[in-house]
Amino acid sequence: MNFEYKQVIVVREDLHMSPGKLAVQVAHGAVTAAEKVRRKKPEVFKAWLREGQKKVVVRGRNLEELKELQRQARSLDLVAELITDAGLTELPPGTVTVLGVGPDRNEIVDKVTGHLKLL
Protein backbone atom coordinates (compact mmCIF):
# COMPACT_ATOMS: atom_id res chain seq x y z
CA MET A 1 0.00 0.00 0.00
CA ASN A 2 1.21 3.48 -0.84
CA PHE A 3 0.60 5.85 2.09
CA GLU A 4 0.05 9.56 1.41
CA TYR A 5 -0.41 10.57 5.06
CA LYS A 6 1.43 9.91 8.29
CA GLN A 7 1.93 11.06 11.83
CA VAL A 8 5.35 11.34 13.45
CA ILE A 9 6.03 11.24 17.18
CA VAL A 10 9.41 12.66 18.25
CA VAL A 11 10.69 11.22 21.55
CA ARG A 12 13.28 12.98 23.72
CA GLU A 13 16.36 10.76 23.99
CA ASP A 14 17.84 12.67 26.90
CA LEU A 15 15.11 11.56 29.34
CA HIS A 16 15.91 7.82 29.25
CA MET A 17 12.30 6.81 29.93
CA SER A 18 11.46 3.19 30.73
CA PRO A 19 9.80 1.26 27.87
CA GLY A 20 6.38 1.52 29.50
CA LYS A 21 6.67 5.24 30.16
CA LEU A 22 7.90 5.83 26.62
CA ALA A 23 4.96 3.86 25.17
CA VAL A 24 2.44 5.88 27.16
CA GLN A 25 4.01 9.21 26.19
CA VAL A 26 4.02 8.23 22.50
CA ALA A 27 0.34 7.30 22.83
CA HIS A 28 -0.42 10.68 24.43
CA GLY A 29 1.37 12.45 21.58
CA ALA A 30 -0.40 10.44 18.90
CA VAL A 31 -3.88 10.94 20.33
CA THR A 32 -3.45 14.62 21.20
CA ALA A 33 -2.08 15.59 17.79
CA ALA A 34 -4.62 13.44 15.91
CA GLU A 35 -7.52 14.99 17.85
CA LYS A 36 -6.32 18.47 16.95
CA VAL A 37 -6.04 17.49 13.26
CA ARG A 38 -9.56 15.99 13.44
CA ARG A 39 -10.90 19.40 14.50
CA LYS A 40 -8.61 21.63 12.40
CA LYS A 41 -8.28 19.59 9.17
CA PRO A 42 -11.10 17.02 9.10
CA GLU A 43 -10.44 16.00 5.48
CA VAL A 44 -6.79 15.17 6.31
CA PHE A 45 -7.84 13.24 9.40
CA LYS A 46 -10.37 11.15 7.44
CA ALA A 47 -7.86 10.37 4.69
CA TRP A 48 -5.27 9.29 7.28
CA LEU A 49 -7.85 7.04 8.96
CA ARG A 50 -8.82 5.43 5.64
CA GLU A 51 -5.18 4.62 4.93
CA GLY A 52 -4.65 2.86 8.25
CA GLN A 53 -3.27 5.65 10.49
CA LYS A 54 0.42 5.37 9.64
CA LYS A 55 2.63 6.45 12.57
CA VAL A 56 6.40 6.74 12.83
CA VAL A 57 8.37 7.20 16.06
CA VAL A 58 11.71 9.00 15.85
CA ARG A 59 14.44 10.32 18.14
CA GLY A 60 14.82 13.91 19.27
CA ARG A 61 17.90 15.01 21.19
CA ASN A 62 16.34 17.25 23.83
CA LEU A 63 13.69 19.83 24.69
CA GLU A 64 15.30 22.52 22.56
CA GLU A 65 15.15 20.31 19.47
CA LEU A 66 11.48 19.45 20.07
CA LYS A 67 10.60 23.13 20.41
CA GLU A 68 12.47 23.98 17.21
CA LEU A 69 10.70 21.15 15.35
CA GLN A 70 7.36 22.44 16.66
CA ARG A 71 8.18 25.93 15.40
CA GLN A 72 9.13 24.58 11.95
CA ALA A 73 6.00 22.42 11.78
CA ARG A 74 3.67 25.25 12.70
CA SER A 75 5.30 27.51 10.09
CA LEU A 76 4.13 24.91 7.53
CA ASP A 77 0.61 24.80 9.04
CA LEU A 78 1.22 21.35 10.54
CA VAL A 79 -0.28 20.39 13.87
CA ALA A 80 2.60 19.95 16.33
CA GLU A 81 1.75 19.22 19.96
CA LEU A 82 4.23 19.04 22.84
CA ILE A 83 3.24 16.58 25.56
CA THR A 84 3.90 17.50 29.18
CA ASP A 85 4.09 14.74 31.80
CA ALA A 86 1.97 14.96 34.94
CA GLY A 87 4.89 13.76 37.07
CA LEU A 88 3.12 10.85 38.76
CA THR A 89 5.83 8.24 38.11
CA GLU A 90 9.31 8.68 36.62
CA LEU A 91 9.58 12.33 35.64
CA PRO A 92 9.14 15.65 37.42
CA PRO A 93 5.77 17.36 36.79
CA GLY A 94 5.82 19.51 33.67
CA THR A 95 8.53 17.58 31.82
CA VAL A 96 8.02 17.76 28.05
CA THR A 97 8.41 14.20 26.75
CA VAL A 98 7.35 14.01 23.08
CA LEU A 99 6.19 16.05 20.11
CA GLY A 100 3.29 14.78 18.01
CA VAL A 101 3.43 16.04 14.40
CA GLY A 102 0.44 15.54 12.13
CA PRO A 103 -1.07 13.51 10.69
CA ASP A 104 -0.70 15.26 7.38
CA ARG A 105 0.71 14.63 3.90
CA ASN A 106 4.03 12.76 3.93
CA GLU A 107 5.92 15.39 1.95
CA ILE A 108 4.98 18.15 4.38
CA VAL A 109 5.69 16.12 7.53
CA ASP A 110 9.04 15.01 6.08
CA LYS A 111 10.14 18.64 5.70
CA VAL A 112 10.20 18.80 9.51
CA THR A 113 10.98 15.25 10.66
CA GLY A 114 12.44 13.45 7.64
CA HIS A 115 16.03 13.81 8.85
CA LEU A 116 15.40 12.22 12.27
CA LYS A 117 16.39 8.62 13.06
CA LEU A 118 13.85 5.95 13.92
CA LEU A 119 13.56 5.07 17.57
Looking at domain 5-113, which CATH architecture does it have? 3-Layer(aba) Sandwich (3.40)
pLDDT averaged over consecutive 10-residue blocks of the chain (119 residues)?
95 97 98 98 98 98 98 98 96 97 98 98
pLDDT of residue 74: 98
Q: How far apart are CA 95 and CA 84, in angstroms?
A: 5
Domain extent listing, the chain: 5-113
pLDDT of residue 1: 76
* 4 close to 105: Cβ distance less than 8 angstroms: yes
